[in-house]
């Protein structure tokens, strides 16, 4: 009798910033349960989400394709991904799996699951705190029990909404990493935040009145990470309790990171700076994934699907835009991405080129932060990307622009269509893009409350139902 294929538990955490996880050396113990769990698997230390934000991030994560392969770069992308691009769920459906998605529906990359389960993820509860991860567990744990009793192997995707804003972790996580006075009148760090018109009302809708200290908000983010980690431990515990821990591949990653207070991109995930691009990546399956490994070298979200299929022993005739990482786990020479293309189509529309030494960011239209059209950072001397060298290093800028243009031209030829950063310009979040000036962008773009955020993220249910019927 043939051995049953391994199950897949795929954990995608929205807005999880890698360097705020104790798994990656953060000063606070934010992820103790994931730390322990990941110690029995393989951890990749330099994984990038090259195409932010959520829509394009999950697009790469769940198809194994880059933005040219999916034809998706914009948060508010309309319609399906590129024709002929199957999702991981569709691939596993064909392999005889039962596929379930929890908290992930309406996104182009969410296509193909046999069952969708939703949970309340945006609004705070009666205590004023957000219980997102508990809400996810409430629907996930019974479903996991059902799947474990089934005759088929399964794929279960969990989209965790912690620590996505609003950062409102339940008590005691709200004070776990903060001992100061968040209302100290001498602290002026929140003044520029509340003066930033496009975001100020949204942030004020969930931050305490009179708040002055940015570190309090960052501590709330860290608390949300720790709260999520504690809730994920219940899922890890059930894998063991149900007797399927040894037969289930667990993948942990994120669609993108978070900027917090960095680069004036306040408590969001726009900008192609490394706090947004770098994400966690963990694989664990006893007997097939080496335990206790921490592997360096760049990998991208598009490497996850080929790696997952390789680990699970599922063969396809598909071509992916990323390599399988299993060979590297087993000691073979690394097939990493030494340089790669980055895109953003959220509140700003930019693309760029990243090498081990240099980061180039080129704006495709003026942004609402009045940042320069071209930014250049030396990642060795200036890893925090604070010193723009574009004016001082014109030859380096020209070299990187040439490398990027050549790569774009090659990919356009390979996929037979124009760079989606050009063709998707009218369907990203900005309602009047392209903007002629930064002032026009600043005056136009606005997010007003938690409810507005939920509406911007959600798809109209009737429209989805109509598309499904069609």
Cα separation, 345 vs 324, in Å, equals 27
Arch. (CATH architecture) of 7-338: 3-Layer(aba) Sandwich (3.40)
Q: What is the pLDDT of residue 88?
A: 98
Q: What is the pLDDT of residue 123?
A: 76
Q: What is the pLDDT of residue 280?
A: 98
Q: Residue 11: is its pLDDT beyond 70?
A: yes
Q: What is the pLDDT of residue 2?
A: 52
Residue 277 binned pLDDT confidence (cut-offs 50, 70, 90): very high
Residue 380 binned pLDDT confidence (cut-offs 50, 70, 90): very high
Between these two residues, 223 and 454, which has the higher pLDDT value?
A: 223
**Two tokens, residue 193:** 């935040």
Phi, psi of 197 (to 5 degrees): -55, -40
Q: What is the pLDDT of residue 425?
A: 61
Q: Provide CATH 3.40.720.10 ranges for the chain.
A: 7-338
Q: What is the pLDDT of residue 207?
A: 94
Q: What is the pLDDT of residue 463?
A: 37
SS3 label, residue 72: coil
- pLDDT (average), residues 56-65: 96
Query: Is the entire prediction scored with pTM above 0.75?
Result: yes
Q: What is the pLDDT of residue 171?
A: 94
Q: Residue 467: is its pLDDT beyond 80?
A: no
Q: Provide CATH 3.30.1120.10 ranges for the chain.
A: 341-444
Give yes or no for a cis peptide into 344 (omega within 30° of 0): no
Cα separation, 280 vs 15, in Å, equals 11
Cα separation, 301 vs 343, in Å, equals 13
Residue 447 binned pLDDT confidence (cut-offs 50, 70, 90): confident
Q: What is the pLDDT of residue 98?
A: 98
Asked whether the beta carbons of 251 and 220 are under 8 A apart, the reply is no
Cα separation, 116 vs 126, in Å, equals 27
Residue 470 binned pLDDT confidence (cut-offs 50, 70, 90): very low
Class of domain 341-444: alpha beta
- pLDDT (average), residues 380-395: 98
Cα separation, 223 vs 170, in Å, equals 8
């Amino acid at each position: 009798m043939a051995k049953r294929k391994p199950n897949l538990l795929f954990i995608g955490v929205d807005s999880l910033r890698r360097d705020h996880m104790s798994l990656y050396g953060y000063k606070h113990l934010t992820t103790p349960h994931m730390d322990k769990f990941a110690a029995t698997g393989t951890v990749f230390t330099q994984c990038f989400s090259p195409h932010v934000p959520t829509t394009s991030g999950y697009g790469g994560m769940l198809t194994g394709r880059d933005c040219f392969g999916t034809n998706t770069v914009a948060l508010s992308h309309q319609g399906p991904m590129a024709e002929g691009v199957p999702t991981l769920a569709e691939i596993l459906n064909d392999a005889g799996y039962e596929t379930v998605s929890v908290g992930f529906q309406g996104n182009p990359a969410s296509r193909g699951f046999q069952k969708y389960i939703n949970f309340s993820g945006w609004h705070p509860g009666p205590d004023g705190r957000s219980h997102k991860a508990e809400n996810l567990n409430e629907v996930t744990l019974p479903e996991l029990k059902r799947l474990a009793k089934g005759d088929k192997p399964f794929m279960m995707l969990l989209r965790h909404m912690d620590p996505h804003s609003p950062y409102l972790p339940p008590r005691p996580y709200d004070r776990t990493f903060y001992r100061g006075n968040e209302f100290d009148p001498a602290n002026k760090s929140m003044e520029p935040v509340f003066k930033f018109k496009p975001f100020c009302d949204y942030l004020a809708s969930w931050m305490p009145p009179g708040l002055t200290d940015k570190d309090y908000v960052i501590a709330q983010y860290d608390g949300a990470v720790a709260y999520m980690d504690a809730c994920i431990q219940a899922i890890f515990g059930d894998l063991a309790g149900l007797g399927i821990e040894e037969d289930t591949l667990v993948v942990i990653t994120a669609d993108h990171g978070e900027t917090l207070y960095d680069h004036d991109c306040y408590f969001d995930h726009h900008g192609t700076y490394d706090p947004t691009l770098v994400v966690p990546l963990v694989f664990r399956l006893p007997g097939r994934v080496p335990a206790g490994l921490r592997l360096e070298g760049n990998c991208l979200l598009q490497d996850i699907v080929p790696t997952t299929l390789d680990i699970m022993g599922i063969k396809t005739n598909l071509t992916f835009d990323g390599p399988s990482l299993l060979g590297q786990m087993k000691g073979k020479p690394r097939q990493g991405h030494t340089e790669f293309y980055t895109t953003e189509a959220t509140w700003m529309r930019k693309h760029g080129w990243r090498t081990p030494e240099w980061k180039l960011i080129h704006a495709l239209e003026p942004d609402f932060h009045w940042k320069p059209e071209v930014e250049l950072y030396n990642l060795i001397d200036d890893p925090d990307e604070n010193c723009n060298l574009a004016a001082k290093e014109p030859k380096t800028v020209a070299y990187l622009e040439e490398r990027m243009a050549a790569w774009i031209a090659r990919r356009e030829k390979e996929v037979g269509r124009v760079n989606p950063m050009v063709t998707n310009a009218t369907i990203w979040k900005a309602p009047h893009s392209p903007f002629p000036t930064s002032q026009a962008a600043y005056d136009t773009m606005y997010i007003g409350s938690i409810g507005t955020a939920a509406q911007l993220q959600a798809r109209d249910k009737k429209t989805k139902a109509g598309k499904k019927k069609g």
